[in-house]
Amino acid sequence: MKKIFLFLFCIAFEIVGYGQQSIRVLFLGNSYTATNNLPALLQNMATSTNDTLYFESSTPGGYTLEAHCTNTTTLNKIAQGNWDFVVLQEQSQLPSFPEEQVQVEVFPFAKKLDSLIHVYNPCAETIFYMTWGRKNGDASNCAVWPPVCTYNGMDSLLYNRYMQLAENNNAVVAPVGAVWKNIRTTFPAIELYAADGSHPSMYGSYAAACSFYSVLFRKDPTNINYNGSLNIGQVTSIKNTVKQIVYDSLSNWLVGQYDTKAAFNFQGLQNEISFTNLSSNYQRIHWDFGDGDTASIPNTTHTYYANGWYKVTLTALHDCMPADTSSRMILINSLPNESLYVFPNPVQSELYVHQSENDVQSIVLIDQLGKRIPITFSINNNLIHIELKGIAAGVYYLHCIGIKQNITKKIIVQ
């Protein structure tokens, strides 16, 4: 039983969708996780929706995050690596204690574990398991810390502290406590607690597992087909509650906040457009300007050589997350109404010729000395693609030979 340590100099305290998936999860907690084998419940739920969950656990009774920091089993499991998610669950009372005590006894060890997790698992995401207030409050600490005398008071503190833990560590919350609170209010006949008024009953663990399912897989819990031999009506109420509190509001629990997201803006004068990268949580970006030219610098300027609509796509990439793309259509209509445009110019290896009519029959490349340079080209309706790989840098003349007319364009190869 954890006891509150009151600082002597303080008189009062201020209360402050996806397809089939396969994931690996490490659970670090105590009896709240071990009771009814929460990870196995979650595994059965995943199997019922054709997903796969592999898990390991370190959950000694009464354990704190501080104790996990020196536990050999915990440290070895973290060091195994290759975890997609690591779940951290603090001792059930400790996060509801006074702020000054939590700052000393909880936050530093959460930070230490999170840092260690990412040393051995650079792509893992830390999830904080938000637990619940005791059924009738924390009687053992009520006398010295009145805010925990009631369920609502204790539960409110746990909610605030777990949200703070997640924000401090750029992590995600599995809001089991918030789900329990809604079930207590809306479906009071569902008994979430074991006889001690602290640990979860099988229904309480089922609600917790559903919450983790929605956070880990980002899927609707009402599609879970595993009921664990529980009352179907009560299980349905639990799944609908989790859908409302968790799945329909994933961003409230910071789920997806750290995903790679592509975004950009642009502005320009005539055919010269400046692109500004607004992406987040990325390591590299790739621009496709829609005219055959690309770039890989965050902010860039691109020149278009033909009027028309262009689909510009920005791809944001991260080694640990799926790539994300953002596309926008850009209209270029400021260029003179010529019958043939060459782009990009200057060019490196890929040259394009846009013709207003399907007139060009052949392409000849001439250097400044009048020597003909062998090239490969293909004509696809109004667009001609010319391969210039291996051509020395310099000034050239491109002769476009057509049925009605011949046109020569000066190009610069870089």
Domains, the chain: 22-253 (3.40.50.1110), 259-337 (2.60.40.10), 338-414 (2.60.40.10)
State which H helix or E strand residue 110 sits in: helix 107-120
20, two tokens: 């089939």
pLDDT in tens, 109-156: 999 999 999 999 999 999 999 999 999 999 999 999 999 999 999 999
Is residue 11 predicted with pLDDT exceeding 60?
A: no
Write down the pLDDT at residue 176: 98
Q: Note the pTM of the prediction, 2 decimals.
A: 0.78
| Omega within 30 of 0 (cis) for the link into 60 | no
Mean pLDDT over 379-400 rounds to 88
In sequence order, what are the residues at sequence separation of 6 or more whose Cβ sits closer than 8 angstroms to the Cβ of residue 231? none
Write down the pLDDT at residue 18: 60
Is residue 396 predicted with pLDDT exceeding 70?
A: yes
Write down the pLDDT at residue 306: 75
Write down the pLDDT at residue 7: 37
In sequence order, what are the residues at sequence separation of 6 or more whose Cβ sits closer than 8 angstroms to the Cβ of residue 353? 340, 341, 342, 360, 363, 383, 384, 386, 398, 400, 409
Is residue 14 predicted with pLDDT exceeding 60?
A: no
When pLDDT is cut at 50, 70 and 90, the band that residue 337 belongs to is low
How many residues are given for the chain? 414
**Strand locations in 216-320 (E):** 264-269, 272-277, 284-288, 294-295, 300-303, 308-318
Alpha-carbon gap, residue 227 to 213, rounded angstroms: 14
Query: Lowest mean pLDDT: which of 144-148, 186-190, 212-216, 307-311?
Result: 307-311
Is residue 15 predicted with pLDDT exceeding 60?
A: no
**Strand locations in 319-358 (E):** 321-332, 340-343, 350-355
Contacts 24+ apart (CB under 8 A), 64-73: 64/2, 64/30, 64/90, 64/91, 64/94, 64/105, 64/106, 64/109, 65/28, 65/90, 65/91, 65/106, 65/109, 65/110, 65/113, 66/105, 66/109, 68/28, 68/109, 68/113, 69/109, 69/112, 69/113, 69/116
When pLDDT is cut at 50, 70 and 90, the band that residue 332 belongs to is confident
Write down the pLDDT at residue 382: 81
Write down the pLDDT at residue 207: 98
Average pLDDT in the chain: 92
pLDDT in tens, 153-171: 999 999 999 999 999 999 9
In sequence order, what are the residues at sequence separation of 6 or more whose Cβ sits closer than 8 angstroms to the Cβ of residue 262? 279, 282, 285, 314, 315, 316, 323, 324, 325, 326
* Phi-psi region at 257: left, alpha or beta (left = phi > 0; alpha = psi -120 to 50): alpha
For tokens 């975004």, what's the residue?
A: 263
Write down the pLDDT at residue 297: 95
Alpha-carbon gap, residue 302 to 274, rounded angstroms: 6
Query: Lowest mean pLDDT: which of 163-172, 277-286, 399-408?
Result: 399-408
What number of other Cβ atoms are within 10 A of residue 409's Cβ? 17
Mean pLDDT over 199-215 rounds to 98
Among residues 305, 315, 308, the alpha carbon closest in space to that of 330 is found at 308
Mean pLDDT over 270-290 rounds to 94
Is residue 181 predicted with pLDDT exceeding 80?
A: yes
When pLDDT is cut at 50, 70 and 90, the band that residue 17 belongs to is very low
Write down the pLDDT at residue 4: 52
In sequence order, what are the residues at sequence separation of 6 or more whose Cβ sits closer than 8 angstroms to the Cβ of residue 58? 26, 27, 28, 29, 68, 71, 73, 74, 77
For tokens 């799944």, what's the residue?
A: 239
Is residue 13 predicted with pLDDT exceeding 60?
A: no
